[in-house]
C-alpha cells in the first residue's frame, strides 16, 4: 500500500511543482514513485516529459472513470522507479463538470485505488486554486506537505489554510508532514526573523530544513529541469535531499486535529 502525499498551498509562487519534482526524484532512488499532475498548467508534466500533450493523461483517465469506462491505468514510465500520470489544461473543465462536482470524491478514490498497490509513494502536485480538484484530492490522500516562502504571509496564511483544510470531508484526520520554506536566504536578516517567528507559532509543524534560493533554481525552472540535472553539485539539490529525508521521518507525525487544537495557531 502506497503513501499518498499532496503538495499544496493556496498561495502561488511557493514552489509546489519544484517540490513535487525534486522529492520524487530523490525518493525514486530507493522507492517506486508515481507523480500525478493535477494542475491544469501541467508544468510538472512539461518538466518531466518535455511535452504537455499526452494522449493518456489525468483528464482522460478521470473522464473514463466518470463514464464508467473500465480501463487499466497505465502511467507513463520515466524510469524504472519513477512514473507519471500527466496533467492537461482540460483539467480546469472539471471544476464546472456537474458529475465531477457530485461524485469527484469517489472518482479520485477509484483512481488512487487502482494504482496504490503498485507504488511506495504517490505524490499529487495540486493547483493553487482551492477548488473541487484540490478538495477531492485532499480528501483521498494520507498526508499533506506545505511549501511556503519566508514572507509575512507565512504564518497568517497557514492559519487560513487550516481553515480551508477543515472544510475537506475526510474519514480520518489528515497527516500534516509539515511546512517548510522555499527560496530561503539564510544570510538575510528578514528571512531569519520570519523563520524565528514561524518557529514560535508553528512549533514542530515547521520542518528543520529550508530550501535556499539560488541561481540553479531559476535556471532549473526556466529550462524545465530538475535541480538534480546539473552536472556539478549544488547547494539547492543538497537542500532537497535533506528535506526528502526529513519528510520520510515524519510520515506518521502531526495530524490536522492536533494542530487545530494548538492555541498558538488559533489566534
Q: What are the tens digits of pLDDT across the range 90-129?
A: 999 999 999 999 999 999 999 999 999 999 999 999 999 8
**Of 239 and 222, which is predicted with more confidence?**
239
Residues 166-186: what's their mean pLDDT?
A: 88
pLDDT band of residue 231 (cuts 50, 70, 90) is very low
**pTM to 2 decimals?**
0.90
Q: Higher confidence at residue 242 or residue 261?
A: 242
Quick one: pLDDT at residue 252?
74
Cell numbers for 178, please give them. Answer: 509539515
pLDDT in the model for residue 222: 47
pLDDT score of 133 more than 80 = yes
According to the model, what pLDDT value does residue 139 have? 96
**Rounded-to-integer distance, Cα 59 and Cα 69, Å:** 13
Confidence tier at 215 by pLDDT (50, 70, 90): low
228-252 burial string, b = 16+ CB within 10 Å, else e? Answer: beeeeebebbebbbbbbeebbebee
Q: Is 50 exceeded by the pLDDT of residue 257? A: yes
Task: Please state, for a pLDDT cut of 70, what percent of the chain lies above it.
Answer: 88
Amino acid at each position: 500500500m502506497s503513501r499518498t502525499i499532496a503538495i499544496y498551498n493556496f498561495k502561488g509562487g511557493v514552489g509546489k511543482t519544484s517540490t513535487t519534482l525534486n522529492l520524487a526524484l530523490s525518493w525514486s532512488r530507493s522507492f517506486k514513485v508515481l507523480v500525478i499532475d493535477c494542475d491544469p498548467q501541467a508544468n510538472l508534466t512539461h518538466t518531466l516529459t518535455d511535452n504537455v500533450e499526452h494522449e493518456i493523461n489525468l483528464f482522460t483517465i478521470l473522464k473514463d472513470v466518470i463514464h464508467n469506462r473500465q480501463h487499466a491505468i497505465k502511467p507513463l514510465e520515466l524510469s524504472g522507479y519513477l512514473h507519471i500520470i500527466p496533467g492537461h489544461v482540460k483539467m480546469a473543465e472539471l471544476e464546472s463538470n456537474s458529475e465531477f462536482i457530485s461524485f469527484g470524491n469517489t472518482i479520485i478514490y477509484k483512481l488512487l485505488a487502482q494504482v496504490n498497490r503498485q507504488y511506495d509513494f504517490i505524490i499529487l502536485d495540486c493547483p493553487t486554486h482551492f477548488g473541487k480538484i484540490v478538495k477531492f484530492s485532499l480528501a483521498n490522500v494520507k498526508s499533506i506537505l506545505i511549501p511556503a516562502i519566508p514572507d509575512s504571509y507565512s504564518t497568517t496564511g497557514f492559519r487560513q489554510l487550516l481553515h480551508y483544510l477543515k472544510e475537506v470531508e475526510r474519514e480520518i484526520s489528515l497527516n500534516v508532514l509539515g511546512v517548510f520554506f522555499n527560496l530561503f536566504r539564510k544570510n538575510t536578516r528578514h528571512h531569519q526573523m520570519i523563520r524565528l517567528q514561524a518557529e514560535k507559532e508553528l512549533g514542530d509543524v515547521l520542518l528543520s530544513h529550508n530550501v535556499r534560493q539560488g541561481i540553479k533554481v531559476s535556471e532549473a525552472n526556466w529550462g524545465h529541469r530538475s535541480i538534480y540535472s546539473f552536472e556539478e553539485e549544488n547547494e539547492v539539490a543538497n537542500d532537497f535531499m535533506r528535506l526528502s529525508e526529513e519528510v520520510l521521518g515524519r510520515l506518521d507525525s502531526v495530524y490536522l486535529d492536533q494542530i487545530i487544537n494548538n492555541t498558538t495557531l488559533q489566534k
